[in-house]
Amino acid sequence: MKIDRLIAAAAFVAALAVSPALAQTRPAGPAAAPQTGAALPDSKIALIYSDAFLDPKTGIARFNTVLTTLNREFQPRQTELQQLQQKIQQLKEEVDKTKSVAEPRALQTKVDQLEQWNKELQRKGEDAQTAYTKRRGEIFAPLEEEIKKNLEAFAKQRGINVIIDGSQVPVVYAADSIDVTRPFINDFNSKNPATASITPPK
């Protein structure tokens, strides 16, 4: 099982769904006929790249704190799997080196042991991955909620009506002036220290 930053990061970005958090619900039913001379709404659109939140040096600091906590919880399982992999590799090398001279019954015993350990490694690896995925969702959910709330407040304070997540939606062109990724990250980090506890979502 490979427990690393990429696994958690991919799920984290996908779960954020930044744009829908600020989208206005469109009324159901047919659109109203255009009115001559009616004033158009004053809209302000901004762009954000949520994958930048995950940068270990310049992203949202609490992401690293949560990821470190998650990986620390699963370190014992990771160590167990690595040790089992080492045992399998050592026994495999022993079988390969002695198969031409070893007594057939003794050799078969080692081959059977290899098969048993490989099955055990696969089963434990799958169990650990399932548990990791479940726990990842649990431990990152509060942070995702905090980011969504802070992003909505950030937008309202600046009169932004719509934020498009360039990490989720292809952007053909956007002026640098509407990219609020860095201002938002700085704003979030200033209000949410990396060591602060995360309020569970209600």
Q: What is the pLDDT of residues 95-151, one digit of tens each?
A: 888 888 888 888 899 999 999 999 999 999 999 999 999 999 999 999 999 999 999
Q: Which residue has the tokens 């704190």?
A: 65
- pLDDT tens digit sequence for 18-62: 444 444 434 444 454 455 556 656 678 999 999 999 898 899 999
Q: Which of 198, 94, 89, 97 is nearest to 148 (CA)?
A: 198
Regarding beta strands 162-165 and 45-48, do their DSSP bridges make them parallel or antiparallel, or are they unpaired? parallel
153-161 average pLDDT score: 92
70-78 average pLDDT score: 94
Q: Which residue has the tokens 């990791």?
A: 132
Q: Does the pLDDT at position 200 exceed 80?
A: no
- Look up residue 62 and give its two tokens: 């609490």
Torsion, Cα 28 33 34 35, to 10 degrees, reads -120
Chain length of the chain: 202
Specify the pLDDT at position 43. Answer: 75
Q: Does the pLDDT at position 10 exceed 60?
A: no
Specify the pLDDT at position 16. Answer: 55
How sure is the predictor about 171, in pLDDT bands with cuts at 50, 70 and 90?
confident
Q: Which of 63, 56, 23 is nearest to 146 (CA)?
A: 63
- pLDDT tens digit sequence for 102-116: 888 888 999 999 999
Cβ contact 149:201 at 8 Å: no
Specify the pLDDT at position 61. Answer: 92
Specify the pLDDT at position 173. Answer: 84
Specify the pLDDT at position 202. Answer: 44
Specify the pLDDT at position 121. Answer: 95
What Rg value do the Cα atoms of the chain yield, rounded?
26
6-23 average pLDDT score: 49
Annotated domain spans of the chain: 5-22+42-191
User: Any idea which of 30-44, 71-85, 94-108, 173-187 has the lowest mean pLDDT?
Assistant: 30-44
Specify the pLDDT at position 18. Answer: 45
Class level of CATH domain 5-22+42-191:
alpha beta
